[in-house]
Structure 1
Amino acid sequence: MLERAHQVRLGQGVLDYVDVGSGRPILFVHGLLVNADLWREVLPPVAAAGFRCLAPDWPLGSHRRPMAPDADLTPRGVARLIADFLTELDLHDVLVVANDTGGALTQILMAEHPERLAGVVLTPSDSFECFLPPVFSPLPKLARIPGSMWPLAAMLRSEYVRGLPIGFGWVAKRKVDPEAVSSYIDPVWRNRGIRRDLRKFLRAVDRRHTLDAARRLPGFRRPVLLAWATQDRLFPLSLAHRLAALLPDARVVEIPDSYTFVPEDQPEALGKLIIGFARDEVFDLAH
């Protein structure tokens, strides 16, 4: 798994993050109940291609350090946290790569805090009225029940449950490395503060956030690559084309033989797409 050798203290709390490579910055944004280890097979080739790769553990249930008790962990609050991370590290002209719930947060970032962004890669992500997708739509209601996150974490420790649609069954086509699964599940299982953070986020999930972001996306004029899995069972390819129709400079690339977790199912293909997009369309390093 990836080594979190760096920490940054923000107003909302301390973030652990991976920082590898050198060159133009690429920021990675994972989704719900995973962490930076989602990108473990994507970061090495992208860093080797001459880019600085930064992958924080965002406070979405698999982070290792609870945020401040008063931290704003609504979707808009976490998008602001991403913007604060870029500001604190004084990063400019950043390419953001996002997956799943992280894609929804990135769309809010694009709408509300675009100043430091040079471009975006969205892999299959929550968008429009699909936040969360139907199979996970009970989670915000569940989060309103005190103490509900511990039974959720306990269920996810079961290999049988992880194979179901409510686990990893519909997000990863291939079996996820058991060490990665432990990295994803252990924090929320072991730490009450992590469960508090997850519950705060889930209680605030609502499609109004992604719908509002979508209304404002036509104002985002940087290049966007929609690297979408053709076999995704949660986020159909039509969502990618709807997003592309809104954005002034966007194109859709189809990734076969993958579900939502493209970084798990097709890391090599995704890495190549990120490198090519960064060189030719975002940072123009090929000319």
Structure 2
Amino acid sequence: MVSEMLLSQQTSCGRHPRFARTTWADDVMLFVTSFLECEFLAPAFDEAGEPRGPRLQPTVKKLPTGPIEEPTSPDWTRRSNATEGMPRWLSFTVFRDRCHRRAFLAAGLRPSATALADGATVHCWVPARPDPSRSPLLLLHGFGATAIWQWSAHLRPLLGAGFDLYVPDLLFFGVSAAPGPDRSESYQAQCIMAAMEAAGVRRFGLVGVSYGGFVAYRMAAMYPTAVERVVLCCAGVCLEERDLAAGLFVVSDLREAIEILLPQRPEKLRQLVRLSFVRPQLVMPSVFLRDYIQVMCKDYVKEKTELIQAVFNERKHSDLPKINQPTLIFWGEQDQIFPLELGHRLQRHLGDNSQLAVISNAGHAVNLEKPKELCEHIIAFFLDSPQGSHNGQDVPSPNSQKNINFNQD
């Protein structure tokens, strides 16, 4: 979620847990630390945002589906929206973004770009040296910041457990985009699947958070032989359009939901933070919120609005296909964006092939509030099995209990 900048217990480069933030003064201290750490302690960056030294070029995978044009080399650091009121070199968000990228590079991932025949481009972080003995795991982010903001806290535990990670930006996030009008989850799924095939990955595990869970569910339904198992984190795929008017959500109409999910003003970003976290930061200075909005929330506003509209418009539970892969449903007990009722609804829809893990003292941003718990569940679900190979084989969940409640302090 967008509020990761404000409330994540991870630091800008993921190395100093002592800088967990609780006040605006801590934000200032972390900004200074980020500046020093990224500009002086880490290898320097050039004006284009690339590390000085050998230039890291995007890899373009061509698919055998028709003529494909080479995409323009992406701006990996997303500097195009440098803040209007704050110089780029003073932007907290720009430095935070830079440090997240450093974390991905340090973890052995590299950026790649897949150009599709219809003109779409999918940006994805892939292993610099893929290892066939490791389990491929695809991580799909939700609305808010780009993939690196939402997954950097999970890299080391998942890599250490033996996964090869593939972390794309969904269409209209980061530098992934498409020229056509299709805003459906199915089209997102097709593009991500094409990127995985271009990377040479034919079978993989799949984790989707919030909107990424919608895309993950659709991928599992469309590509059952490719997707081994699925983790859906606070993904309200069982919602119906009528749920808005019925009072299931904190908002009653789609326009209000869009204003919160795509914040363009500090007060809307504050509202999103407070809805997403159980223990939101009490003081959120407008200078940091405006900086974040300008850098992270100004691209593809029209297209993202259409993505949200496509999720809700004429959606009916009865139209949702039933996926057959073993599925872990991971939910924050106090989720105010997609209430827990949607998690129970999804488990009833999937039946015995699913289990629901409910995390206490966590909200919609459970992946950021409880990253350790999420990683532990992912590792247990995909790897900790009494049966043999997990790579390319369906294996049962290590926990036969279907409903699990985890009390977290």
| Distance (whole Å) between structure 2 residues aligned to residue 126 and residue 96 of structure 1 | 16
Q: In 1, Cα distance between the equivalents of 2:234 and 2:365?
A: 8
Q: Over aligned residue pairs, what C-alpha RMSD do you find?
A: 3.5
DSSP-derived class of the 1:268 partner: helix
- Are 1:72 and 2:200 an aligned pair? no
Name the larger-Rg structure.
Answer: 2
> 1:80 and 1:185 mapped to 2: Cα distance?
30
Say if 2:202 is the partner of 1:92: yes
In 2, distance between residues paired with 1:142 and 1:163? Answer: 14
Letter in 2 for 1:50: G
Could you list the runs of 5+ residues in structure 1 that have no partner in the other structure?
none
- Tell me the equivalent position of 1:32: 143
Residue identity matched to 2:167: A
Give the total of aligned pairs: 268
Contact 2:236-2:343 within 8 A present in 1 as well: no
Structure possessing the higher relative contact order (Cα contacts under 8 Å, 6 or more residues apart): 1
Contact 1:229–1:259 at 8 Å: present in 2 too? yes
Q: Could you tell me which residue of structure 2 aligns to residue 47 of structure 1?
A: 159
Gaps of 5+ in 2: 1-99, 105-109, 399-409
- Give 1:223-242 correspondences, 5 Å limit: 223-242=326-345
Deviations 1:63-116 (A, max 9, x none): 222523225222322122222222222323311111111212222222233231
SS in 1 for 2:208: strand
CA contact (8 A) 1:128 1:207 kept: no
Identify if the C-alpha distance between structure 1 residues 212 and 104 changes in structure 2 by more than 3 Å, giving closer, same or farther.
Answer: farther
Counterparts of 2:278 and 2:290 in 1: how far apart (Å)? 14
Q: TM-score, normalised by structure 2?
A: 0.57
Alignment CA distance shift 1:139-1:87 (3 Å): farther
Structure 1's 87 and 180: CA in aligned 2 closer, same or farther, altered over 3 A?
farther
Contact 1:230 1:254 survives alignment (8 Å): yes
Q: Do the aligned partners of 1:76 and 1:209 also contact (CA within 8 Å) in 2?
A: no
SS at match of 1:125: coil
Q: Does 1:265 align with 2:369?
A: yes
Choose from 151, 165, 173 the match for 2:278: 173
Structure 1 window deviating more from structure 2 (38-47 vs 110-119): it is: 110-119
Q: What's the CA shift for 1:249? A: 1.4
1:205 maps to which residue? 311
Q: Equivalences for 1:45-194 in 2 at 5 Å? A: 45-60=157-172, 63-65=173-175, 67-70=177-180, 72-130=182-240, 134-135=249-250, 138-139=253-254, 153-155=263-265, 158=266, 160-164=267-271, 167-175=272-280, 186-189=295-298, 191=299, 194=300
Q: Specify the SS of the correspondent of 1:54.
A: strand
Cα pair 2:139 2:166 within 8 Å, conserved: yes
Structure 1: distance between partners of 2:306 and 2:371: 31
TM-score by length of 1: 0.78
More strand per residue:
1
Shift of 1:206: 2.4
CA contact (8 A) 2:277 2:362 kept: yes
CA contact (8 A) 1:279 1:285 kept: no
Secondary structure of the corresponding residue to residue 234 of structure 1: coil
Q: Which residue of 1 aligns with 2:346?
A: 243
Contact 2:249 2:339 survives alignment (8 Å):
no
Q: Percent identity, please.
A: 22
Check the 8 A contact 1:33/1:185 in 2, yes or no: no
Task: Determine the C-alpha separation between the residues in 1 that align with 2:305 and 2:292.
Answer: 19
Post-superposition shift, 1:153?
A: 4.7
Deviation at 1:18?
2.2
State the 1:246 CA deviation.
2.5
Q: Deviations over 1:171-209 (max 9, x none)?
A: 2335589999967862442x4xx2343233234232545
2:356 aligned to which of 235, 243, 252: 252
The 8 Å contact of residues 78 and 105 in structure 1, kept in 2 or not, is answered as yes
